[in-house]
Amino acid sequence: MAPEILDHTFKDGSHFQASKSFIRAFLHDALRWSPRKGTRAAHKLPNDWEELLQKSLLRKAYAIKEEDILPEFIVNSDQTNVVYAPGDKRTWAEAGANQVKLLGGDEKRAFTVMVSVSVSGTLLPFQAIYAGKTDRSCPSRSAPAYAEAIALGILFEPSGTATLISWITE
């Protein structure tokens, strides 16, 4: 809470120094942090990210003006992972058992949803992408609300197909 202490010269001419044990104790006690295993890569930005964004904006503005691109054809898309059965590595076993076998404990059940909206404000139909190469990996046609989802334009596709191409052409 006092970063100026790092620059302070004490009466004996010394400067503040933090030992490894001091830093460890500070992280643990003051911040309540502990060593943890990394689970995903940190987001990295290039040093010139602002300049790159400015150039991208100008290229898009130029293309939109010169090619008379309608707002309906400018689409922002993103994908998100939807977990419907997390692999939490828990099961029932005899109390006090030292070894508990778990079948499929490292697996998660999830699918990817592609969400898109055009500059005109039109929300495009979702695309749900399931792991697998055939339609058998997708929801069954007899699943509740399947017909309603299809009527709304939602695409259910296995990931082993040309999913992006079908999303663009639909």
Q: What is the pLDDT of residues 20-50, one digit of tens each?
A: 888 888 888 888 877 776 666 667 888 999 9
Percent of the chain with pLDDT over 90: 30
pLDDT in the model for residue 29? 87
Supply 29's token pair: 């006690």
What is the Cα–Cα distance from 80 to 114, expressed in whole angstroms? 7
pLDDT in the model for residue 167? 63
- In a 13 Å sphere around the CA of 70, the CA atoms on its Cβ side amount to 5
Residue 146, pLDDT above cutoff 90: yes
What is the Cα–Cα distance from 44 to 17, expressed in whole angstroms? 30
Mean pLDDT of the chain: 82
pTM of the model: 0.52
DSSP letter (8 states) at residue 15:
B
pLDDT in the model for residue 88? 61
49-53, 67-71, 123-127: range with lowest mean pLDDT: 123-127
pLDDT in the model for residue 147? 94
> Residues 131, 132, 134, 138: is their CA dihedral positive or negative?
negative
